[in-house]
Structure formats: C-alpha cells, structure tokens
Structure 1
Amino acid sequence: MPLLARSVQAPLHIIVRRGAVADLGQILADGRVSAGGDVAVVVGPGLGERIVELIRPSLRSADVFSTSGGTLDAALELAAKLRAGHYDAVVGIGGGTTVDVAKYAANRWGLPMISVATSLANDGIASPVASLINDGIKGSYGVHIPFGVIVDLDFVETGPDRVNRGGIGDAISNISALADWELGREVRGEPFDGLAASLARMGAEAVLTMPGDLTDDAFATVLAEALIASGLAMAVYGDSRPASGGCHEIMHAVDSLFPGTGSHGELAGLGALFCTFLRGDERRFAQMADCLGRHHLPRVPSDVGLTHEQFVEAVVFAPRTRPDRYTILEHLAMSPDEISRKLATYVEAVAAH
C-alpha cells in the first residue's frame, strides 16, 4: 500500500521563555539562522531603544531599522532598505504591527524572517499573513510563514495589559471560526482540513479552560502556544479559514465602519461570542462568556463603546468583508430588525453570566 503524506510550511524554531531577546544572538547561532549575527533587526517606536540595548551585546553585526504605522508603504520602504544590504535573515521584534511590516519586507526579497513577539495580541506572530494598511484600509497579504517564532515572556509581563488580553479573545474565537467552517462543509460542501482544524482547536480549548491569567507564566505560555498553533493552522490550510469566520467578519466590519473602537482580539472575541449565541450553542456560549468575563474582555457592544444601532450596522455589513466566506451570518441572512432583536436577547443572556 502506498504511503501518502504531505509537506507543510512550519517554523524551524519555536521558543517561548523569559530572556529570549537578550539571548537572541545565541538563539540565531544555535538555530543555524545566522552564525555571525549578520541580520537586519526591525523594531517599532515603543520598545526600540530598550530592545537595541538588550541585543547589542550578542548581535554586534546587526543593522537595526525602525518602522512605524503598520502600512504597506512602511513595509515597502523597509524592503528597499533591506535590498541595499546583505543579511542572513530579518528579525522583527515587537508587537503585531512591527512583525507584520518585517514579514512583508522580508518576503519581498525571499529572506528568512524570524518573528520575536513582545506581546500576545493576536495569532499574527506565527501566521503566513501580514496585515497592513493601504490607503486607509487594512488588508491581508500572503507571506512566507516565519522561519522562527520567539516569544519573550519578560516583555509580555511588562507590556500593556489590554494588548495581551486581546490575544485571549483572538485565541478562543477559533472555536466559533471552526463551527462556521463545519457549517460551510455541511451546507455548501466546502473542503475541510482535519489537521488545520485540530491545530486551531487545541490551542483555543486550552486557553478557554486554562486557570490563571497573564501574570502567570504557565497561562502566558499556553496563550502564546495557542496563537502560534493558530498561525500554523492557517499555513497548513493555505487560508485563514481555520481561524476566521463570522467573528472576524464582525471585527473587520467594526474596523471599517467605526475605526479605533477596539483591538483585533477584543473584537474577535466579542464577535465569536455573538456568533456562538446565534448558533444556539448554550454550552459553548456559557464557556466563552465566562472566559471573556474572567479576563475582563468585551462581551457586549457597549464594552467597546458601540451603541446597539452601531453594532447592528456592523453585523449587517460584516458579510461584505469576506464575500467568499460562509458563516452563521450568511446562513441566517438576518434583516436589520432581526439582528436588533437577536442583539437585545444576546445582551440579556450575557448579563446572566
């Protein structure tokens, strides 16, 4: 009988621990990424000086580039600078915006990219996608998955609490995204990838039930690994389907209609809870509501400053953000009045948890 297998893109190295940024030179050498430290290090405006101070002793040969804004123009500007040098790899150190700019710029010239996350805002730290703003609109650009993913828990611990908590919302939103994917398979016969689904589900389930919070290294490690696994799920399937359903349609709609309302993870978690309510899955709804509440994440529109009417408008608009995707929103095809009534009942249900 023939043996069938498939090859998938995956990081060569995944490291989640304290002190990783300070040890970066040794990590790159041990991983055979760069023996001499001839790398381009990309930092953002917030932690740039602190990061440069930490890496200089172990990466004396590195060139450091600063970036800000998270725009396509910033990524292209960085790519032009990288072309002028000779580097073993590009190392993006910082939050999701900095990492995404570095991912896109490295991909432009086929350079290996190492993602060094200082926060746990979303699964972009390990995904084959760069989210960049172009002409005021955030778009998703396919890139090679990072060759290495490093999470420094020292930075996570001292980083903005709200930013890191957003990663919890993004992680557990996979549960809703997978339910939407299964719905698409049942109703439209969409292809379904069990390996990608397993990767996306395992991390989400772990975060959903894990005791503790981000002050606990064990919880922070589980969250980091869940976000990395979510990025791997997208790489395995070659699409964001394992981690993006109606939850992310709502998130993108809010971003488009009411920019600056909430972070990616906050809105993804809120959208996931609402979509789970629409499915009538009471057990999952209770689990997710409890998890979001336990970690002080938004559960109702007013928690992110949206009115009842604004959230209804976002849900109406949501399917337009991913026209090819079938989720509970497309399945129910609710009118604005129906959404309004469902939302009122949803708010009451959340209050009971």
Structure 2
Amino acid sequence: MPLLARSVLTPLHIDVRRGAVADLAAILADGRISSGGDVAVVVGPGQGERIAELIKPSLGSADVFTAAGGTLEAADDLGGKLRARSYDAVVGIGGGKTIDVAKYAATRRGLPMVSVATSLANDGIASPVASLITDGIKGSYGVHIPIAVIVDLDFVESGSERHNRAGIGDVVSNISALADWELARQVRGEPVDGLAASLARMAAESVLSHPGDMGDDAFVTVLAEALIASGLAMAVCGTSRPSSGGCHEIMHAVDALFPGTASHGELAGLGALFCTFLRGDTQRLGQMASCLTRHRLPVTPAEVGLTDDQFVDAVIFAPRTRPDRYTILEHLAMSPSDVRARLADYAGAIRDHLG
C-alpha cells in the first residue's frame, strides 16, 4: 500500500492566553505528562522565579533549578543535576536562553520538555533547536520539540517590550529564509518541504498583515502563534531551513564578531531586509521595512549600533556560520567592495520606501 500520510512531531498541548501558567499542574496531568508533579522546573534570572513561586503550591513535588547565561556549559550542568532523581519532565520557564538550556538538558536526559515562555523574542519557544553559547560563539543544537508550549500573555506583558518586539523580526525573516530555500532548490536541487514552507510562510504573513501592536492582545496572540508555527515548520522538515537563511547567517556573524550588538530577532529582521534587497524583491522589501519600522525595529546597521564597515565585515563572514547552507549570500559571493556598494544602495532604497 502506498504511503498516503506522514507523522509529524508536534506538542501535545499549546496554550496561548492570559492566566495559562496558573493551570500548569492541570495541563501536565491532563496531558499525561506528569500526574503527580514530579518535574524539574528550570527558571531564569527574570520572571521565571516569580512564576515558580506561583506554581509551587500545585506542584509540590517539583524541584526548581536556576539557569543563566544560555551557554552549553549551563545546559550540561543542568543535565548533571537532572540525574539526582527520576523526573517525569523538564519545565523550562522564562525567555529564550532559559528555554534553550532546558530543551538541551532534557534531550540529553531523554526527558520530555515543557516550554513556558515569558518572552516572544524568537521562535525558539517551540522549535527543535537550542541556540547555546560555547567559547563565546553561539551554536545551534538539535533537540526534541517541546511536548507542550504555554504562553501566558500576562507575563509577556510584564516583560521587556523590546525583547517581545524582537520576535516580530524573527517571524518576518521567514520570508527571506524561504526565498533562500527556493534559490537553493533552483540552483542546487535542494528539496523543499512544502508543508514546512507553508507553516513558515503563514506565520510571517499573519504578522506582516496584522494591523495591531504589542498593546493589543489579538496581535500578541498572533505573534505567539506565529513563533510556535515557525518552530513547528522546523520540526516538520528536521532542519531550520524554513526560518533561517542568509538573514540568520548575518545575525550569527554579528553575534560572533560584535557580541552584544542587538537581540536575535532584531538582527534577523535586519538581515532579512538586506537579503531581500540583494534579491531585488522591491515589493517584499517595502512590505517588510514598513512592518519593522511600524513596530520600532531596526532597518539599518546604524540602528543596531554598527558602522557600515562592521556590517560589511559581518556579511562577508556570514557564510562561514552555516557552511552547508546555500543562500543569496553564497549565490552572489560578494567581495567587501561589492557589499559596501550594495549597502549604500540599500540605504537609499530604505529611505525611498519609508519616505
């Protein structure tokens, strides 16, 4: 009999609403994840501790661990602590760094992981990828997709608005990543997974077309769901291809050469704009630039504190961050002088689009 369907790994439970965290114990029990609350709760230095106190009465058997820094060392250290007793699951509560540490440690221990996001800074809240720093360089590690994803809008609202806005840049960058994937198909015959591409594209389009802002629950819900969909897109095809192309190569290059410049989502959005310009897609360039500007996200190197020369260095270095990936950057194979000239043209194009 021919194969007429395929199995796709997805979270058992996804909950995006106000007050969701208060129901964590019930979610774990109803989902057969942990009926007795024997879980390892991993919190970050921000709102995670506050949430841990909130859920402690209903999860009396839980152990609480603190993870900071988003490093491979922190993830390995947490993995060692998880050997102390038998746990039903690992619950990561916090921003992207905390969740990535929890995802990696849980995977190494063979435990299911529950993602409780207090920030919408990037699509890591539901992805099968953990971004961790080792020797000062951020690397991507394959992990199991979270068994449940919870986004409590109350805690998102209490968090850093700048970090939450950054997630918009990460979702919008899907448009550029998908164009790079299609380019790789045309030039190198790389297969494109249609389902993964559809999920990533719908996520980006939902944010691009929504008229709301971070003060609007409807928009924040769409953003959270778009970030989750981006993570699912990666899980569907088993790679970060649907959400990571030249845009993320530039982001990783800036992180490596000029650490602390800006957040993941801010740099991904900027990288996506520049790559879209390089492809000559003026319609998408205007649409994406208008969206990022409306949400007060950077659209030029100067807006993230980079000089033109620094940005040129990052673009030249970018292909080295993902040697196996073919994007518009590898396709054009630009010299430093080429990038400098294109960057000048880009600045003019952005001024024209934004008036």
TM-score under structure 1 length normalisation: 0.98
The correspondence of residues 91-106 of structure 1 with structure 2, limited to 5 A, is 91-106=91-106
Q: Which residue of 2 aligns with 1:13?
A: 13
Q: CA deviation at 1:57?
A: 2.1
Report which stretch shifted further, 53-62 or 215-224: 53-62
The correspondence of residues 251-330 of structure 1 with structure 2, limited to 5 A, is 251-330=251-330
Letter in 1 for 2:300: V
Letter in 1 for 2:313: E
The correspondence of residues 65-76 of structure 1 with structure 2, limited to 5 A, is 65-76=65-76
Q: For 1:50 and 1:95, how far apart are their aligned partners in 2? A: 13
Report which stretch shifted further, 275-284 or 52-61: 52-61
Q: Which residue of 2 aligns with 1:107?
A: 107
Report which stretch shifted further, 163-172 or 2-11: 2-11
Q: Deviations over 1:70-105 (max 9, x none)?
A: 111111111111111111111000000000111111
Q: For 2:263 and 2:49, how far apart are their aligned partners in 1? A: 25
Q: For 1:205 and 1:178, how far apart are their aligned partners in 2? A: 12
CA RMSD across the alignment: 1.0
Provide structure 1 residue ranges, at least 5 long, that are not aligned to the other structure.
Answer: none
Q: Which residue of 2 aligns with 1:190?
A: 190
Q: What is the aligned length?
A: 353
The correspondence of residues 67-146 of structure 1 with structure 2, limited to 5 A, is 67-146=67-146
Letter in 1 for 2:129: V
Letter in 2 for 1:215: G
Secondary structure at the counterpart of residue 57 of structure 2: coil
Q: Deviations over 1:27-62 (max 9, x none)?
A: 211222111111111001122331122111221221
Q: CA deviation at 1:2?
A: 3.0
Q: For 1:52 and 1:6, how far apart are their aligned partners in 2? A: 38
Q: Which residue of 2 aligns with 1:164?
A: 164
Q: CA deviation at 1:3?
A: 4.4
Q: Which residue of 1 aligns with 2:211?
A: 211
Q: CA deviation at 1:348?
A: 1.3
Report which stretch shifted further, 16-25 or 172-181: 16-25
Secondary structure at the counterpart of residue 23 of structure 1: helix
Q: Which residue of 2 aligns with 1:23?
A: 23
Q: For 2:192 and 2:142, how far apart are their aligned partners in 1? A: 20
Q: For 2:135 and 2:257, how far apart are their aligned partners in 1? A: 15
* Percent identity for Structure 1 against Structure 2: 78
Q: CA deviation at 1:4?
A: 2.1
Q: CA deviation at 1:173?
A: 0.1
Q: Deviations over 1:149-188 (max 9, x none)?
A: 1111101111101100110000000000000000010111
Q: Which residue of 1 aligns with 2:57?
A: 57
Letter in 2 for 1:293: T
Letter in 2 for 1:113: M
Letter in 1 for 2:296: H
CA contact (8 A) 1:23 1:58 kept: no
Q: Deviations over 1:230-249 (max 9, x none)?
A: 11111111111111101001
Q: Which residue of 2 aligns with 1:201?
A: 201
Q: For 1:282 and 1:172, how far apart are their aligned partners in 2? A: 15
Q: For 1:67 and 1:48, how far apart are their aligned partners in 2? A: 10
CA contact (8 A) 2:137 2:255 kept: no
CA contact (8 A) 2:250 2:268 kept: yes
Q: For 1:262 and 1:71, how far apart are their aligned partners in 2? A: 18
Point out 4+ residue stretches in structure 1 off by more than 3 angstroms: none
Q: Which residue of 1 aligns with 2:149?
A: 149
Q: For 2:258 and 2:302, how far apart are their aligned partners in 1? A: 13
CA contact (8 A) 2:136 2:256 kept: no
Secondary structure at the counterpart of residue 191 of structure 1: coil
Q: Deviations over 1:285-313 (max 9, x none)?
A: 01000000000000000000000111111
Q: For 2:217 and 2:73, how far apart are their aligned partners in 1? A: 37
Secondary structure at the counterpart of residue 22 of structure 1: helix
